[in-house]
Structure formats: structure tokens, C-alpha cells
Amino acid sequence: MSETTALGLSARTGGVMVAFTVVFTAMMAFTYDATHEQIQASATEEKMKLIAEVLPGAAYDNALLDDYVQLGPTRELGLDEGGRAYRARKAGQAAALLIEATAPDGYSGRIDLIIAINADGSVSGVRAVSHRETPGLGDYIDPKKDKDKKSPWITQFADLKAADVPACKVRKDGGQITYHTGATISARAVTNAVARAARFAADNQNRLFAAKSGGPL
């Protein structure tokens, strides 16, 4: 058959490939378009749920997710690519800062945290947003994986007073934070990140609250 030349075959299969690509890409684009709003709403809701765990809803009355400072790369917070600091206000007064921070020295890489620090310098709460600590060993930094469901390890940071921040170290390093034997590194990484963030918030509080919303520090 003369039509099965290399060129003819290439053109035919190429055409079919293009047709399939167009059809299935269109299918993906259509699905994305149809689900986009719903997914955004779920993501916001999820973020609010996480925030509610570290900062009680009664502590602020502003639209928290819309009131933030865009931080550039910040060494004190372990942020290589920047992050956000959300500002909680009550009746116009500074109430708390919700800071995205990273502990760069976890046992298996970076531990992303959200840390809520009250205006008086005390810590309101901390949660691990994402981490890769060893399952069953170092992953107790995540309360969902912590075997102690009544008082998970990470709740030690809730209501850590401003005066306690210098002692925000694991006991092995002379501080007051407990840890699980055999998995000190994960606990130490989180603890030190919290202490650094608390100091950063205390040092920069006025600038953080004065900066333009959505703008840089």
C-alpha cells in the first residue's frame, strides 16, 4: 500500500494524537472551571479551621484572611520564599499575629508551621501544616498523629507566657518543653522555630500591625 509511507504515517498518527490531546485537555479545563469556585471555598474553610485551632474565634473580629502582611524571605522564620503574617484585631486594636513559619531542621526536612502569637507576646497556639517526620516516631508534632489524644505534645505551646519564651527550648537544651525519647530532633526543630517566631513577633509587632494590608513589611 502506497499510503503507508513514513511521512503519511507520521502525519496521520500526529493528527490523531493532537485530536486526543485537544479533547482530553478540554475535558480537564472544563472540570477545572466547574470545580474551581467550590475548591477555593473549601480551601478557605480549611484554613479557617486550622486558624480556629490556634486562635479562638472570640479573640478577633476582623476579616483575618484579608488582613495580612506579605513577608519576604525571612531567616528568623525559616522562610526561604516568604510567607504571610495575618493580623487579628479586636475592635480595631491589635489582638494577635498568625505567622507562617518553617522549622528548617526537622528530621526529614522542613516542617511548615502556623504560629499564633498574642499582642502581649504570649503564644496562643501552634500547628504543623505539613511535615515528613518519621511515622510513629517523630510525627507526634502533628496532633492528628499524636497517640496522646487528650493533651497532644504541640498543645504545650498554647498559652506559653511572654516571660516563658526564653525557656521555650526542649528540656535536653535546658528549657521546659518535653519531648519523646528517641525523637528529640523533631521536637527541638518545632520548639526552636516557635521561639524564633515569638521573638520576631515581639521585635516587629508595631511595624507588622502598621504595614499596609496585602503589602510588604
Partner 1 sequence: MDFQAHKDIAWNGIWKQNTGVVQILGLCPILAISSNVVNAVSLGLATILVMALSNLTISALRNFIPYEIRIPVFILIIAALVTVVDLAFNAYLHELYLVLGIFIPLIVTNCIVLARVEAFAAKNEPGGATVDGIAMGIGLTLVLTVLGAMREVIGSGTLFSGIEMIFPGIQGLTLFGDDYPGFLVAILPPGAFIALGFLIAGRNWIEARKQARARANPPAPRSPKTPAEAATSADPA
**What is the binding site for partner 1 (CB under 8 A)?**
9, 12-13, 16-17, 20-21, 24-25, 27-28, 31-32, 34-35, 38-39, 42, 46, 134-137, 144, 147
Nearer to partner 1, 67 or 146 (CB): 146
**Could you tell me the CA-to-CA distances from 78 to 72, 83, 99 in Å, in that order?**
11, 10, 11
Phi, psi of 55 (to 5 degrees): -140, 115
Nearer to partner 1, 147 or 212 (CB): 147
DSSP notation for 35-97 = HHHHHHHHHHHHHHHHHHHHS-GGG--S-GGGSEEEE-SBTTTTBSS-EEEEEEEETTEEEEE
Nearest distance in Å: CB 199, partner 1: 33
**Could you tell me the CA-to-CA distances from 29 to 21, 25, 77, 207 in Å, in that order?**
12, 6, 37, 43
Nearest distance in Å: CB 111, partner 1: 17
- Other beta carbons within 10 Å of 12: 12
Nearer to partner 1, 20 or 72 (CB): 20
Cell numbers found for residue 17: 494524537
Q: How many residues does the chain have?
A: 217
Nearer to partner 1, 83 or 138 (CB): 138
- Other beta carbons within 10 Å of 193: 26
Nearer to partner 1, 14 or 216 (CB): 14
Nearest distance in Å: CB 158, partner 1: 22
Nearest distance in Å: CB 77, partner 1: 26
Nearest distance in Å: CB 109, partner 1: 16
